[in-house]
Structure 1
Amino acid sequence: MVQHSGLTQERWSSFSLLQQILMIGNEMNRAKRLFSPLDKTGLIFCYERVIYLTDLTVKSNPMRGLRKELLRWRDLVAEEYINLMSAEAIMPDINRHLKIFKSLLLLNSESAGQISYLIKY
């Protein structure tokens, strides 16, 4: 996870919640492009970055309800990540990925406005 390895909690906390969600969304959008043709390694790296950025977001936001929802959302991504890493790896499902992506964007009213631009079923 070279791309965000130097990103500190302090630096991440300087971004607004909207910016944090959109940056996580950027990684989810990048991952979306790795489904066809399937780039399993690239997808794994994207999910690692998504989990890392989500962890930073959870740590930097004091709102308990938001943290709870972010952790639930993180579990969905972690499940996809674990499925990709397992020996009996199930083919990743782009529709499930898009639903998870959409649920991230719905965590903030401003980021929800991006759904029609980013997610096409």
Structure 2
Amino acid sequence: MQHQDLAGGRWSKLSLAEQLGNIGSEYERAKKWREQKDPRFQNAFDRFLELLDLTSTSKNLALARRRELLRLREVACAELTQAADHSAGLSSYFYHFALLARKTT
């Protein structure tokens, strides 16, 4: 686990927008390094999944939101590990959460 301090409870104190903004940063990093065939891709991809899993397993998350996050995981994994390209949609998805997190902090 790369984010032990976050898994220890700090992550749950962040708003959903802040969590998804951070997840989006790891997604963008993984996407960029995959395109560049950079060996750091795997670490960024693992961090992306770890943060997304921490969010989707939150106890106070509504079922519909959990389903959305699990679908997000499925689509992002397909994009980052296969030839599927939904990147414009996912980049936009994460960007809006990052903006919201900046406005609320």
Q: What TM-score does the superposition give when structure 1 sets the normalisation length? A: 0.64
Identity rate, percent: 31
Root-mean-square deviation (Å) = 2.7
Contact 1:34–1:42 (Cα < 8 Å) also in 2: yes
Shift of 1:55: 0.6
- Which one scores higher on RCO, CA 8 angstroms, separation ≥ 6? 2
Aligned to 1:45: 43
C-alpha spacing 1:80/1:45, structure 2 compared with 1 (3 Å): farther
Contact 2:79–2:86 (Cα < 8 Å) also in 1: no
Aligned to 1:24: 23
* Aligned-partner SS, 2:33: coil
Which structure 1 residue ranges, 5 or more long, are not aligned? Answer: 84-89, 115-121
- AA partner of residue 73 (structure 1): L
Correspondent of 1:102 among 88, 92, 101: 92
Which structure 2 residue ranges, 5 or more long, are not aligned? Answer: 101-105
Aligned to 1:58: 56
Q: Which runs of 4+ in 1 moved over 6 A?
A: none
C-alpha spacing 1:111/1:79, structure 2 compared with 1 (3 Å): same
Contact 1:51–1:77 (Cα < 8 Å) also in 2: no
Aligned partners of 1:80 and 1:100: how far apart in 2?
10
Q: What TM-score does the superposition give when structure 2 sets the normalisation length? A: 0.72
Aligned partners of 1:29 and 1:100: how far apart in 2?
9
Contact 1:31–1:46 (Cα < 8 Å) also in 2: yes
Structure in which a larger fraction of residues adopt helix: 2
Aligned partners of 1:65 and 1:9: how far apart in 2?
25
* Aligned-partner SS, 1:7: helix
* Aligned-partner SS, 1:57: helix
Shift of 1:46: 1.3
